[in-house]
Structure 1
Amino acid sequence: MSFNDLGLSEPLLRAVREQGYDTPTPIQARGIPTILEGGDVMAAAQTGTGKTAGFTLPLLERLMQTRPERGPRRVRALVLTPTRELAAQVQESVDTYGRHVPLKSTPIFGGVSMRPQLQALRRGVDILVATPGRLLDHLNQGTVDLSSVETLVLDEADRMLDMGFLPDIKRVLAALPAKRQTLLFSATFSEQIAGMARGMLRSPTRIEVAQRNTAAESVNQTVHPVSRAGKRGLLSHLVRDGDWRQVLVFTRTKHGADRLAKQLDQDGLAASAIHGNKSQAARTRALGQFKQGRTRILVATDIAARGLDIEHLPHVVNFDLPNVAEDYVHRIGRTGRAGKGGEAVSLVCVDELKLLKGIEKVLGGSIRKHTVAGFEPDPSERPEPLFKKPAGRRRPPEAGQRRRGGGQRRDAGASRRA
């Protein structure tokens, strides 16, 4: 099957060819014709499967087919994403595949000035890519009108639930026409996602191209047991010894990300950190330098790294194991994308052995263990709590960003959370 068989018009096929693609991925092959039919869709696809183009292309096609001949531009498609980075990634996809069609799109998210967003909205857009918090800011100020939306896309719906966006999403839904097409994309079909879909979708077509919580087969996974104090030295050793040129490293907290990036710099390894406390400009700059090879190591927290699109990323390192086992799958999904090989390494001390067991349970099997000579774990070390709760604080750092269910929270890009 080729893209020519999916029902897309020549301007979109031309953009696809210019990107060097001729064969659609499974989610694209199944999703594009289904979305073009106009019904609601509930799709499960892991990162790296081509899902963004899988909804961007048919969205552009449908908007072209229903484009009014005259009158001002109105928002006819809304794409909701959990993070600024993912919103920017979706916008990039719309720009790439929509370059030969007369449609306009703009992203709106927090951490940046509202003025350029207001100017773009006044000029008129067909497609709006937004994070929930900043979109609500515009709705509350009356600067955006969603009454003409024909298609709603909920991208990475599982992460939006994890981050407590359900109340915000419901408020956005109240501003949309009841008659519309709704597309829900999620890494998994959990019970929570099923419940969310029941309230928002009408008889959706289900598309699933990956088993739940299945780590990418193209990723080589290794656990290096190490002492608590030996992690930083082992990481520097692995990067130098393997001549790793591009490494995404995950830490548990924002403070830990800053500290580790500084230490790696001191070790002579160019590193930078991105997390929720960094301004959007700082995060964009750090990511750009990493993609260009000017920075060798990018240290990130889970919230900041969600939605990062780094082509052919060869190495992911879990400096700290995630508290939520399923997040391990999302982390290592940053590498081994689109059929390319990748390596995921986890540095595990005695404090994290229970977390490791939880991850292996989710994966359905054990991860290969390898002790690096000179960095053996200290057999006398005893487990310590991962979080020390200061007085007056009830949750560990960044836990407030991971409230499950319907907890109230502004998105990572909301103006008051910049």
Structure 2
Amino acid sequence: MHSPQVYAKLLGVAALATAASVWAQDTIKIGELNSYKTQPAFLGPYKKGMELAVEQINAAGGVNGKPLELIVRDDNSNPGDAVRAAEELLARDKVDVLTGTFLSHIGLAVTDFAKHKKMFFLASEPLTDKIVWADGNHYTYRLRNSTYMQVAMLIPAAVKMNKKRWAIVYPNYEYGQSAVATFKTLLKQAQPDVEFVAEQAAPLGKIDAGSVVQALADAKPDAMFNVLFATDLAKFVRAGTQRNFFKGLPVVSMLTGEPEYLDALGKETPVGWVVTGYPWYAIDTPEHGKFLKAYQDRYKDYPRLGTIVGYNAILSLAAGIKKAGSTDTEALVQAFKGLEVDTPFGRIMYRGIDHQSTMGAYVGTLGLEDGKGIMTDFEYVDGASVQPTDEQVRQWRPASAD
């Protein structure tokens, strides 16, 4: 038999356990999976952006009175591992929603998983058009601007160059293939006499930069479209600079103005390239200024584009859950149609017709300052201005997706 004091202790422990159980049940669990090991330059800052948003939302009382809990898994840049991680998040961690992925083929694998599991999935970063069009489905939305949108942002600069013979270099997987197909289509529409005289498709993360540069140079192009990023980009720029390939060659380039890639290029930054990116150091808007101060106060560092994507993903999920009034999958799917979210880039909206957000990007020219790459003469391009028409989307997106 237990003494009254022992009973009191036992009751206290039980009460604490019950309180913990209630707290766990009242927590909104966000399951996130990404390629942290293989893409640290982008995804380290991305994770910090997510964490900052979670901290701010919870400090303000959470969503519908419940705190957010972020549960993160690594997908090892492998579609099979990504699906297994997603399955674990659902079965073991009992998450309420899924978000994340970086590489396009990983994003497509999780998009398909969400379709079959009937689980809400916000694809935060992967750029392939297929996520919202050809392979789009009822349960998947996408935050970041697609390959189509980013290419469309660069087309005016490409047309203004007025060059006929174009070379193209890209990573040989879904993102690169998608970007190149769109570039060819849109540039041909704007400049029918254009020719594509050389293409180099490099295996992701394994570029033979010297050979690629030589093959492109042999074609004697008038201009170039680059889709390489991360270590492939750094190796390519170094090889091209050493061989004077870029001298006098106009270039339009996706992603190169993002700090995570400019940091690696440093003084080797190819001055004059027209790029999409994120000039965090020179954006003069109240919403970005507020975000920048909070991030620098919290991490004693400057944000990268990944930071914005991670931050906006959590803001979007919080806004969608609040609007839906719950984490019920179907309620979330409906809540995201036309959902508006205030972000450091201004207000964005998720289109009902294809589940794509209107988050935009900055377009500008690369320059050098104190041995570091920067963007100059930049402007923000609203994603809504570079999206295809509703009629085009209906042709590309299967009717069964909704």
Q: One fold, TM greater than 0.5? A: no
**TM-score, structure 1 as length reference:** 0.30
Higher strand share: 2
**Larger relative contact order, structure 1 or 2 (CA cutoff 8 Å, min sep 6):** 1
